[in-house]
């Protein structure tokens, strides 16, 4: 039995003192508390209370930035880490549409851009996750930051599973079915940016979190970060609806742009069979799929815009169509 308060108890107390006394964690407090969790210095009971108190009040931009800081403090990044152009997170999984955004990533890589894709899977039943699709398509999945760096140097792309960056974070995400709710880990993992790419994409599910995620990108002073409400919570443009994109540059206030719908019909029927082979067929031009191609090209346009390679939305979409037409259909990705 403890005779003195546990060192981590202070953070639970800050969050749980009641409506009049509770407050957000400072960035420094968020950094230290997350680092303690990842170092194994917090008890399971404390972790559960901490995560759910954060979920109840909703995390602030400064807290998200602090969680990112605390997690990155634990990374063992290789000394010869590659230069990466775009950081792309994938933590939601797809339920009704295939991950067409993977074709956007492959088109970018084929055009010579280096992309680090990172994410996790399995925390929510009934979803198709990125790692499973990549494996089905024969694309690389790394087991460490060092291996991911080597893959990016060799072929411009790697998928980095969350457990390869932080096994403890993977454990925390897997608490979702136990706690019944998502935790802040689902939010801040998207901003981990393990190779310090100057451009970061974020797809979120809930419209009300746009300002929080954009604010966290500002707090982290990311060179360029684009946040939008993506299909299923992934970084994927819904081509049948207009979409609002919040873009931050460093600590400057977000620039908000509304991208128009690419397809006339506002309703997109769910895929009858979530078969990754369909992605391969569309990539190779063997299958025509109006929604999938529009989603891939539209998402590619957003990525180009986020990377600062276009003058306008119209220019971004024109460049994206050009890259799509020029893709190497004989192979999934150009080495």
Does any domain span residue 55?
A: no
Does any domain span residue 129?
A: yes
Does any domain span residue 64?
A: no
Whole-model pTM: value is 0.93
pLDDT at 198: 98
Does any domain span residue 158?
A: yes
Helix (H) or strand (E) holding 16: helix 9-16
Beta-strand pair 157-161/115-119: parallel
pLDDT at 22: 82
pLDDT at 333: 54
Rounded CA-CA distance 58/187 in Å is: 10
pLDDT in tens, the chain (335 residues): 566 789 999 999 999 987 777 899 999 999 999 999 999 999 999 999 999 999 888 899 999 999 999 999 999 888 888 999 999 999 999 999 999 999 999 999 999 999 999 999 877 767 899 999 999 998 889 999 999 999 999 999 999 999 999 999 999 998 888 888 788 898 899 999 999 999 999 999 877 789 999 999 999 999 999 999 999 999 999 999 999 999 999 999 999 999 999 998 777 778 878 899 999 999 999 999 999 999 999 999 999 999 999 999 999 999 999 999 999 988 765 43
How many domains are contained in the chain?
Answer: 1
Read off the tokens for 287.
């299958």
Does any domain span residue 60?
A: no
CATH number, domain at 302?
Answer: 3.40.1030.10
Does any domain span residue 99?
A: yes
Residue with tokens 């529009």: 294
Does any domain span residue 3?
A: no
Q: DSSP labels for 25-69?
A: PPHHHHHHHHHHHHTT-S-HHHHHHHHHHHHHH---HHHHHHHHH
Residue with tokens 């970084």: 235
Domain that holds residue 286: 86-325
Does any domain span residue 266?
A: yes
List C-alpha distances in Å: 295 to 158, 191, 235: 22, 23, 10
């Amino acid at each position: 039995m403890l005779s003195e308060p546990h060192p981590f108890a202070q953070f639970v107390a800050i969050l749980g003192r009641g409506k009049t006394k509770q407050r957000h964690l400072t960035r420094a407090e968020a950094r230290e508390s997350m680092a303690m969790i990842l170092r194994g210095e917090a008890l399971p009971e404390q972790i559960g209370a901490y995560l759910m108190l954060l979920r109840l009040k909703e995390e602030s931009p400064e807290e998200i930035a602090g969680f990112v800081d605390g997690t990155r403090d634990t990374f063992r990044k290789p000394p010869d880490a590659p230069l990466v152009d775009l950081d792309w997170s994938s933590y939601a999984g797809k339920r009704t549409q295939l991950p067409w955004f993977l074709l956007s990533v492959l088109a970018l890589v084929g055009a010579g851009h280096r992309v680090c894709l990172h994410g996790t899977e399995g925390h929510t039943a009934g979803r198709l996750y990125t790692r499973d699709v990549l494996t089905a398509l024969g694309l690389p999945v790394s087991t460490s930051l060092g291996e991911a760096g080597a893959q990016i140097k060799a072929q411009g792309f790697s998928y980095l599973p969350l457990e390869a960056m932080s096994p403890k974070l993977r454990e925390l995400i897997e608490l979702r079915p136990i706690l019944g709710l998502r935790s802040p880990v689902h939010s801040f993992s998207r901003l981990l940016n393990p190779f310090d790419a100057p451009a970061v994409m974020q797809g979120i599910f809930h419209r009300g979190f746009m300002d929080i995620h954009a604010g966290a990108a500002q707090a982290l002073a990311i060179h360029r970060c684009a946040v939008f409400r993506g299909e299923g919570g992934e970084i994927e443009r819904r081509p049948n609806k207009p979409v609002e994109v919040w873009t931050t540059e460093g600590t400057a206030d977000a620039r908000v742009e509304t991208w128009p719908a690419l397809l006339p019909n506002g309703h997109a029927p769910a895929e009858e069979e979530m078969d990754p082979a369909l992605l391969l067929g569309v990539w190779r031009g063997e299958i025509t799929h109006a929604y999938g191609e529009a989603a891939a090209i539209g998402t590619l346009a957003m990525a180009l815009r986020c990377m600062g390679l276009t003058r306008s939305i119209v220019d971004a979409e024109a460049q994206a169509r050009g890259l799509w037409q020029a893709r190497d259909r004989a192979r999934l990705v150009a080495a």
